[in-house]
Each structure stands twice: as C-alpha cells, then as structure tokens.
Amino acid sequence: MVPVTLPLLAFAACISMKSHNYPETRRVDHSENLHGTVVSDPYRWLEDDNAPETEAWVKAQNAVTFGYLESLPGRERIRETLTGLWNYERWGLPEVKGGKYFVSRNDGLQNQSVLYVLDSLTAEPRVLLDPNTLSADGTVALTGSHPTEDGRLLAYEISAAGSDWEEIHVLEVATGRKLQDVIRWVKFSSASWRKDGSGFYYSRYDEPTEAEKLSKANYFHKLYFHRLGTDQAQDVLVYERTDNKDWNFYGEITDDGQYLVITSSQGTSPKKRILYQPLSETGAPVVELLMDFDAAYDFVGNEGPVFYFRSDLNAARYRLIAIDVRNPARDRWREVIPQSDATLTGVSHVGGRFIAHYLRDARSEVVVFDPAGRKLHTLALPGIGSASGFGGDRASRETFYTFTSYTTPTTIQRLDLGDYSSTIWKEPKTAFESDQFETRQVFYASKDGTRVPMFITHRKGLKLDGKNPTLLYGYGGFNISLTPGYSPAVAGWLKLGGVYAVANLRGGGEYGEEWHAAGTKLVKQNVFDDFIAAAEWLIDNRYTSNRKLAIMGGSNGGLLVGACMNQRPDLFAACLPAVGVMDMLRFHKFTIGWAWTSDYGSAENEDEFRALFAYSPYHNLKPGTCYPPTLITTADHDDRVVPAHSFKYAARLQEVQSCANPVLIRIETRAGHGAGKPTSKQIEERADMWTFLAKHLGMDVE
C-alpha cells in the first residue's frame, strides 16, 4: 500500500532530532522476498525521478545542503583558489586528416573546450566548433569529433546536461557550415567514416519515451550506416541480434578502408566478440570471426587480411596477436608481441610500427616495435606519470602523446617516428607550484596479504606526525586502472595543506585480468578490504589519523566509499561518495546498469545475491550507528548511475544516523554522471567538497 503523498510544505517544516534540519522523507512499507530473504526497501518511491514528490524532495534536500555549505568558513576563498588553478590554457591531442590538424583548446575557464583546425602545427588556429554557443549555461558538451580521411567534413557528437544520449551532426570544415544530417538516440558509439566520405557507421538504441529516456534499461543496440545527405529514417541496418538483447556493437573502418570491423561487447566484461564485413563488394555479408566470448580482443589495425588484436587469451597481462581472416583457425594465429611482466594496456598501429603502452605498478612505459615484434625503441618518460595518445595511421611520420603526473599538468608532445625524438608542442602554465610538491609510491599489505600499490602526493617536507588532513581516493572495478594525472581540483586540495593518496585496488586493470577478476562478483569484498587497509596504512605510518582522514570515490568508487563507510565508520573523519551505485540489488533494472553484472553479479542469482546483499551500501546502514560526516553528490540527469541510488542511500542514512554528524546530499541540476560537466559546475562542486572536508578535518582555510 502506498501512503498519501506528503505535501510539499511539510518538507520545510520537518525538523530532525539530530540538530540538522533534514527534510522528512516518507517511508513506504515495501519489501520483497529474494531467495528466502525478506529485503526492505522503504524509499523505493524515490526511484521515480519524474514524480512531483521526488522533485520536491530534491529541492528540499538541496536547500538544507546549500544552507549548510554556505555557513562554513573559507568557502569563497577555496572557490577563488580553485578558479585560479583552473584558469590555464589546455590543449587536447591533435588528430591529423587531409593534412589538417584538428585539436581542442580551452582558454582556462571556458565551460566547454573549443574545437580548432590548423593547416600546420605552427599555423594560427581557426575555430571550427564552439560548444559554448550551443547552450546558455554551458551544459551542451562536444563528446566526440571525427574528420573524414580528406579532412573535408567533420562528424561530431554532442550531449546535453551530461546525459549519455548523444546526437551526431556534420559540418563542412572549410566553411563551418552545418549540414542537414542529424542522428539521434545514439549511446555508447561514435561515427566511423567510410574512406570516400560517403557516410559513416554508428550505433543506437530505439527511441524511448520522454518519461523513460533517463531511466529505462537500454537493450538491443543496433549498428547502422548513414549515407550523407539522407534522413536518419533511411539509414541501413548493418547488424543487430534480436536473440541477444545485451550485445552492444561498435563499428570501425580499417585503415585501408577495405573492412568494417564490428566489435561486440556484453556488459562491461573485457571479453569481446569480433565480426567483420568486406567493403570491396556491395552487399557482402557480415562474417563471424571470434564468437566464443573467451577473452579480450581489442582491434589494433590490419595489413590487408591480417588483423591485429591486443588479447588476454592465455596472457593475463595481454599480448599482441595476428589473425589472417583468410585462414582464421586458432592454430594459425601468430604472436607478435608476447606477454611481459608489465601490463600491456594499449597498442597503436602507426607509421608501420606498433607503439605499445604498458603499466608497471600503475606507471606508464612506452615501447616501439617493428611489424615482426622486434623492439625498436623505449620512450624516455620524465618520472612517475602517465602517457597516452599515439594515434595516427600507417602513413604517419609523426604521432602525438600526453604526459602528466599528480604534480605536472598535461603536456602535449610530438614524437618523430623517424628518429623517435620527442618535442613539446604545448606546455601549460599554471598557478600551481609543482616544484613544491612530490609524489611517492608505496606498497602495503591488504587483509589477505595481497601487495597493493598506492601513490601519495603532498607538499615537500611533510611531517609524519599523524596530524595531516588526508584524502584517500579509490575505484577498484571494471578493469579500470588509476594512473597518475594532474587535476586542478587535486592541486587545490594540496595547496590547502592536504595529502592526496590514491590506492590501486583489486578490481582495476593495473595488473591485468587476474587483478581485475580478484575484485569482482563473489570476491568484491577484496576491494573494500584493500581500501580499508590503505586507510590503516596511512594511519599506522603517521601520515594522518582517523580524525584527519577522508575518503572519496565516484560511480563504482561511490559504492566503494559507501561500503567502506558502513563497514568501518570509526576509521574516517568524512566521506564523499559521488554518483555511487548504492542499491546493489536493483542497479541492473535501470539504463545500462544490467551491463555491470559482469563485474558485480546479479541479485537474480542466489549466490551472487548473498554477496551483494552483504555489502550493498543502502541495505547495510544500521540504526544506532554514528556515521562520519557525509556529503553525497549526484545529478538529476545522470542516466549512467541513476540518481535514485544516491537519493535512497541519503534518505536511509539520514534516518539511521545516531549522532550529530551531518548527512547531506548535493544534487546538481542539468548535469549527469560527470562527462561534459561545465567548468563552472566543476569548480562549484569541488569548492563545496573541499569546504566540507576542511570543516570536518579541522583545516584552517580562512
């Protein structure tokens, strides 16, 4: 039975007994029996983000949260510091097509980076597309851009208010004129042009209703070809699987233009299926190449009918293999670059060479190989940091890459493929005094003895007296590696006197598939044990204390913070769970949540239900417990991890909190999971987070 809706006016009038004026959140007598266990879900109604009562709840919660934050000392000073640190020129990696260089640039405080085109590396940049002109509040983001082979046309994707839904548009590079082509309801895709520029391949879902577009589960991904100048309704369906609703498809044209390679994923598993379509003859069928779904197969490039893949088949830390599609029997596969003791995280096929990117203890190493797999060159990198990029094609004589660290802003480097010399193309000038800070890497033992790496960054000369305000960050999932990288937000934290620690937890990809699998499904608790052990190490080694230690994570990292806070509320002085997956029994019922069952498992299966229910943040909050001060952050347009996760968790945490520590939820409007968030909103959000931490970690910020 659903009780009568609480009137809007009642929200403002409700006063908590714990000294914070939380809105009263209606409880519903709702429960269900899952595998013999009765599970209560008293805040199920908050899943309806279109309901007037939910909208009123959001408004009331924000009023309490922002009222609290505005009362804290130093908020304006922190905002000013962050604004100054964000205000520096930032360039993206150039993409070369038709002799032109396509590159993004942000002058510092622009809400969205602008796309430019240059006729040479020394030419004056010309604005090609400025997404800041597409919305008054800067919430329409350019999420991808794809020039044709001759550089004459550009397909680009835009997203509004942080949604995963995208539209593809086309413009003429010489004039900037927008063409009539518009592709809608695109998600988890990009545009891959045919070499003649006649059209492009993309993937989409069927059009949802207005009420369902931010929450309905996304199934039946379909691959289409759009011929330039035609209406989307005329697009040709290239591939679909009506018998497998959870297969996603990504189409990519090979460098020589002879093949369409179709990569099929299922959930977030690194395993792939590979199909291809020869393009030399009209109407050629799609050919199934690798359909066993037994390993990762990441397409790298081709030499005619020989396809190259980065794969973890019989190589947990990955290797490069070659498959001749004319005779693809497994006993004919050829190993090009064997597995090493470092994790092969990516390979580029550029200028007739393979550029291999490795992670060794979460730090970048880059090695160049010839087509036969012989080592040609090892790139010299300037210390503990991360390199990325190395794009191009077989005819390229140059490629570009970035290098960054926790204390070094991202530089853009040009690599000459003739002599392998690197020169800096763009080097930012910031207000951050990099030489006053340092990063060290340590290793600690988790609960079961597993050796886990952690980066710690702080001002030089730090005293290990247990009194340093410290922020511990983690993720631990989906084969994603946390590597060193500069952030103006983190720079602001360091300038405030904070220590910043990043733990490379199991579930990530730092040490290959075995490391990833050790933090999934029935052994997901390993991830939380790793994070708790990192916190204990920082305390034991006198970097900080439990009264000076905060934890933070987003998305899967939000789950991490929620679970660890539930399990060890005594260990932390403040918690920042962002856009977290908090209801582990229902995440698979919304948008793309079903895809995460490859990492989490599903409550539909009894053994996985037991594991999920044991740590689900929403379900494991206990009455009578004093939880740390908590600032939950989410957004109303998050259609990746729907905001109901955070809504329900906040409501339950406010209900059970037994002490005066605040439990607040900050709900951003016209924003999503994080991608494309305007600079202004990023600064405001981080200023509020750091102000909250400064208050509860006892930092002097006035």
Per-residue tokens: 51: 């309901």
Give the type of residue at 428. Answer: P
Residue 214 and residue 642 in contact, taking contact as beta carbons nearer than 8 Å: yes
From CA 522, how far away is CA 54, in angstroms rounded? 34
Per-residue tokens: 204: 């989409």
Cβ-proximal residues to 121 (8 Å cutoff; 6+ apart), any chain: 94, 101, 414, 425
From CA 314, how far away is CA 319, in angstroms rounded? 9
Q: Is 680 a catalytic residue?
A: no
DSSP E strand boundaries for 427-518: 437-445, 451-459, 470-473, 499-503
Q: Are strands 549-554 and 470-473 parallel, antiparallel or unpaired?
A: parallel
DSSP E strand boundaries for 166-266: 166-172, 178-186, 192-193, 199-204, 222-227, 236-239, 247-253, 259-266
Residue 267 C-alpha from the chain's centroid: 15
From CA 389, how far away is CA 426, in angstroms rounded? 14
Q: Is 673 a catalytic residue?
A: yes
Triad 23, 29, 31: Cα angle to 5°: 120
Closest CA to 10 of 32, 28, 26: 26
Burial class (CB in 10 A: 0-12, 13-18, 19+), 52: exposed
From CA 670, how far away is CA 160, in angstroms rounded? 8
Residue 701 and residue 496 in contact, taking contact as beta carbons nearer than 8 Å: yes
From CA 189, how far away is CA 536, in angstroms rounded? 41
Per-residue tokens: 102: 């396509």
Give the type of residue at 426. Answer: K
What is the DSSP track for 204-224?
E-PPPPTTTTTTS-----EEE
From CA 667, how far away is CA 23, in angstroms rounded? 14
Unique residue bearing structure tokens 């600032």: 631
Q: Are strands 574-578 and 630-635 parallel, antiparallel or unpaired?
A: parallel
Give SS3 for 543.
coil
Could you give the C-alpha distances from 198 to 148, 229, 432, in angstroms and in order? 9, 9, 47
First and final CA of the chain: distance in angstroms?
Answer: 51
What is the DSSP track for 424-444?
EEE----S--GGGEEEEEEEE
Per the residue annotation, which of 637, 645, 673, 696 is the catalytic one? 673
Own/partner long-range contacts of 373-381 (Cβ < 8 Å, ≥24 apart): 373/320, 373/335, 373/336, 373/337, 373/338, 376/420, 377/420, 379/415, 379/420, 379/422, 380/422
Q: Are strands 272-278 and 287-290 parallel, antiparallel or unpaired?
A: antiparallel
Backbone angles phi, psi at 75, to 5 degrees: -60, -45
The backbone region for 238, taken as left when phi is positive above 0, alpha when psi lies in -120 to 50, beta otherwise, is: alpha
How many helices (H) and strands (E) the chain has is answered by: 11, 39
Residue 675 and residue 107 in contact, taking contact as beta carbons nearer than 8 Å: no
How many beta carbons lie within 10 A of that of residue 617, not counting itself? Answer: 28
Triad 575, 581, 582: Cα angle to 5°: 70
Give the type of residue at 130. Answer: D
Per the residue annotation, which of 159, 311, 555, 646 is the catalytic one? 555
Which of the residues are catalytic?
555, 673
